[in-house]
Amino acid sequence: MVTPEVRTFSPRVIEGSADAGTVAWTRAQLAAFLGPRLEADALARVGVAFEGNRLRGAYADPDPTPVATLRSWDARLTLPGGEVLADAVTGIGVRSTHRRRGLTDRLLTEDLGAAARAGAVAAVLTSTQGALYERWGFGLATYTRRITVDTARAHFRDAGPRGSLEIVERPDAALALTLPIHDRARRRHPGALERLASQWDQVLVGAGPWNGLEPDRLRQTVVWRDDDGRPAGYAVIRVEESWYATGSATLGVVDLQALTSTAYTELWRHLCSQDLVGTVSWPDASVDEPLPWLLTDPRAVVAGESRPMLWLRVLDVPALLRARRYPTEDALVIEVDDPLGHARGRWRLDTHDRLAPAVGPASGEPDVVLTASTLGAVALGGVDPRVLVRANRLDERSAGAAARLARMLAAPSVPWNGTRF
């Protein structure tokens, strides 16, 4: 059997269509995820959305269609009190006839190496395969949770409404209003990422690879403005279940971002007070949504199980730990084991200067020993190191070190990333 050759490229776009290599890559990627077989012109449209991304493929020549795929791009990732450049990875898929031959290992190891050399401080991905990515140093760093509201019981404690609401029909107008709100809101949530233009298309228009970038005509963007007319929040919604059979529709929330608690309240008041709507449901809400506390009956909101969302892989330990802020002044020696080498070492983290934490190689004995994957899980402050001691994932070498690390890494708000990619 010939070993497939790995190639990396960026889509070329010619007169609004992606080049043949990108079309073949896109076809392979959709097939690996059990997606639809799209016509070549639809694949050429989809490929345009990947412009500027890095496409990696493993090719079993002479077949021009890769047998394994990976896509990545640079994105700003929010940390507690800062942000870093991260390698966002997606589209990891292998043709079903070529699984378990080490192709994902080759593509991902290569991508992480290239990202580290290019200066990315971390890599991130979202995954439905919970057992897969730890071996490459990814740790589960954020969760989301579905919240579902029974609108008949949703009575708001505050009097309202306040401000004004606008339904924005044109996607370009919606983007102009929502992007600046998201850009400010994402900086408040460790784990949030800036979005590519193609991700915005997916959120606002519903145009994604799976539907050949066809718009989802059920989507609607509503923007809330304060009394001075300043946009301070938005919700993107779609009808998930029509009112037609039961007289009571279910509204799905695709995205909701609010810069003030008033904007948050008024957007939810709007969603819960629409005619024909009995239920509003948001699958990727934060695990600490304040909505139940806005209502006279908190039981009008049912919170589902929390589900894994963002996996984080630290590529540059000093750069990542220096870029975030810490609520306590302390110093610890952290030893990181990393088979891929990127995070490996014994590092001293000193947070006595809150504005300029010091991180560098340490010579003394470690206070805690952990793997790169465990470091990824705790780095945003969303997972408590003490829990990982109890799970034998973090070795506490000096008494009380895990509790000290927990206090150092604590985040000002619960890490949340509401965008699957």
Ligand X SMILES: CC(C)(COP(=O)(O)OP(=O)(O)OC[C@H]1O[C@@H](n2cnc3c(N)ncnc32)[C@H](O)[C@@H]1OP(=O)(O)O)[C@@H](O)C(=O)NCCC(=O)NCCS
Residues that bind ligand X (CB under 6 A): 32-33, 68, 92-94, 99-105, 127-129, 131-132, 135
CA dihedral over 34, 35, 39, 42, signed as positive or negative: negative
Angle at 231 between CA 75 and CA 417, to 5 degrees: 30
DSSP 142: -
Closer to ligand X at the Cβ: 94 or 254? Answer: 94
Written as one string, the DSSP assignment of 267-296 is HHHHHHT-TTEEEEEEEEE-TT-SHHHHBS
- Give least dist CB 3 to ligand X, A: 13
Decide: 28 and 57 in contact? Cβ < 8 Å: yes
Q: Minimum CB separation from ligand X for residue 116, in Å?
A: 19
Between 36 and 412, CB nearer to ligand X: 36
Nearest to 412 by CA among 349, 354, 361: 354
| Residue nearer to ligand X on the CB measure, 110 or 166 | 110
Q: What is the DSSP letter of 381?
A: S
Spell out the residues 6+ positions from residue 230 whose beta carbon is closer than 8 angstroms to its own. Answer: none
Backbone angles phi and psi of 106, in degrees to 5: -65, -45
CB of 236 to ligand X, least distance (A): 24
Nearer to ligand X, 53 or 127 (CB): 127
DSSP helix/strand/coil, 161: coil
Between 89 and 271, name the residue whose CB sits nearer to ligand X: 89
Least distance (Å) from ligand X to the CB of residue 189? 22
**Nearest to ligand X of 115, 232 (CB atom):** 115
What is the nearest approach in angstroms of ligand X to the Cβ of residue 177? Answer: 32
Q: Which positions ≥6 away from 323 have C-beta within 8 Å?
A: 79, 82, 83, 84, 121
Enumerate the β-bridge partners of residue 349: 332, 359
| 378 within 8 A of 409, measured Cβ to Cβ | yes
Output 66 or 231, the one with its CB closest to ligand X. 66
Residue 331 CB, shortest distance to ligand X, in Å, is 37
In angstroms, what is the minimal distance from the CB of 168 to ligand X? 33
